[in-house]
C-alpha cells in the first residue's frame, strides 16, 4: 500500500510527514475473550488459551452465527460449566503470571497451595493445556504416595504409579482405613503380597543365603504387572538392605 504523504506548515519551516498504514504488532496486540464461570465474568487475553490449549484452539476455529460472537463481550461470554471460580483463578495465575515489584522472578508458584495445583492439574488435563499440566505434575511431586496414586488414576499420570506403590510397600506403618478406601481392595491386597515378599527378601538377607535380593520396585512391578516398564534390578547379599532403596532415577 502506498504511504500517504501530507505537508504541515509552521511559521519557521515546512515539514513533510509520511503516514504509513496501521499494522498490528504480532507479539503485543491482544485479542480479549470473556468467560463466565459460575456467576463471575473474566476478560483475559485470548492468546494463552489459543496457543496452549488444544481444546480452546479448536473451539475458537468453530464458525459462529452472524451477529453472535461468543466471548467478545460481557453480553455473550463463553460459559465454562463444571468449573469453580477459585479453580479457574488458579489456572489464570499460571497462564498470566505475576512478578513481584522490582523483582525479575515470577512469584506465582509460591502463592499457589497444593489444592490449587490439583485444580490446575484437573483443568489442564480436561482442556489439554500441555505445559500447565506438566508444571502441575512437577509441583505435586512431593505429595504423599496414596494421594499420588489417586491422582494418577484420575488424570493418567503413569510416572507416579510405580514409585508411589513402592513407597507404600516399603514404609513401616500399615495402611489406614482412609488410605484403603482410596486405593481399593485389589490394590491393598497386592500391596500386602509385596510387603510379605519384602519380609521374605529380608529374611534371606539375614540368613546370608547366596541368592539375589530384589528391590521393592521390582517386587511391585511384578505384582502389579508393570514389569515391562521396569528395568529389573537385583542385588547380591553382600550389599546392605538394597531392596529398601530406590534404584531407577526414571521413576523418582
The residue that leads in pLDDT, 12 or 250, is 12
Which range has the worst mean pLDDT, 23-27, 134-138, 181-185? Answer: 23-27
What's the pLDDT at 98?
73
Residue in this structure with the C-alpha cell 508444571, named with its chain if needed: 135
Percent of the chain with pLDDT over 70: 72
**Of the segments 25-29, 100-104, 175-179, which one has the largest average pLDDT value?**
175-179
The residue that leads in pLDDT, 228 or 227, is 227
What's the pLDDT at 200?
79
Average pLDDT over residues 145-154: 97
pLDDT of residue 228 exceeding 90: no
**How does pLDDT run across 157-200, given as a tens digit for each residue?**
999 999 999 999 999 899 999 999 999 999 999 999 999 988 87
Domains of the chain, each with CATH number or no CATH: 32-60+70-142 (3.30.710.10), 159-251 (no CATH)
Give the 3-state secondary structure of residue 48.
helix
168 Cβ contact partners less than 8 Å away, ≥ 6 residues apart:
145, 146, 149, 175, 179, 191
Give me the helix-helix angle, 145-155 and 158-170, nearest 10°.
150
**Strands, E assignment, 210-252:** 213-214, 234-235
Q: What is the pTM of this model?
A: 0.75
**For residue 32, what are the β-bridge partners?**
45
Q: Give 238's pLDDT tier (boundaries 50, 70, 90).
A: very low
What cell does 69 get?
A: 460472537
Amino acid at each position: 500500500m502506498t504511504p500517504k504523504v501530507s505537508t504541515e506548515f509552521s511559521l519557521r519551516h515546512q515539514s513533510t510527514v509520511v503516514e504509513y498504514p496501521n499494522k498490528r504488532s504480532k507479539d503485543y496486540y491482544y485479542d480479549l475473550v470473556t468467560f463466565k464461570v459460575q456467576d463471575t465474568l473474566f476478560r483475559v487475553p485470548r492468546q494463552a488459551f489459543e496457543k496452549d490449549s488444544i481444546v480452546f484452539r479448536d473451539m475458537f476455529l468453530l464458525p459462529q452465527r452472524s451477529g453472535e460472537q461468543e466471548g467478545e463481550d460481557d453480553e455473550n461470554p463463553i460459559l465454562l460449566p463444571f468449573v469453580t471460580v477459585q479453580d479457574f483463578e488458579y489456572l489464570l495465575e499460571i497462564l498470566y503470571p505475576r512478578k513481584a515489584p522490582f523483582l525479575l522472578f515470577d512469584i506465582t508458584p509460591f502463592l499457589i497451595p497444593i489444592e490449587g495445583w490439583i485444580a490446575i492439574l484437573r483443568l489442564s488435563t480436561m482442556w489439554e493445556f500441555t505445559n500447565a499440566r506438566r508444571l502441575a505434575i512437577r509441583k505435586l511431586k512431593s505429595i504423599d504416595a496414596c494421594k499420588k496414586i489417586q491422582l494418577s488414576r484420575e488424570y493418567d499420570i503413569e510416572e507416579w504409579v510405580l514409585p508411589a506403590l513402592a513407597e507404600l510397600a516399603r514404609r513401616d506403618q500399615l495402611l489406614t482405613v482412609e488410605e484403603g478406601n482410596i486405593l481399593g481392595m485389589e490394590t491393598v491386597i497386592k500391596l500386602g503380597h509385596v510387603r510379605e515378599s519384602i519380609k521374605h527378601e529380608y529374611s534371606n538377607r539375614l540368613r546370608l543365603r547366596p541368592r539375589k535380593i530384589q528391590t521393592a520396585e521390582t517386587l511391585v512391578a511384578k505384582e502389579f504387572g508393570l514389569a515391562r516398564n521396569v528395568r529389573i534390578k537385583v542385588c547380591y547379599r553382600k550389599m546392605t538392605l538394597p531392596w529398601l532403596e530406590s534404584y531407577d532415577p526414571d521413576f523418582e
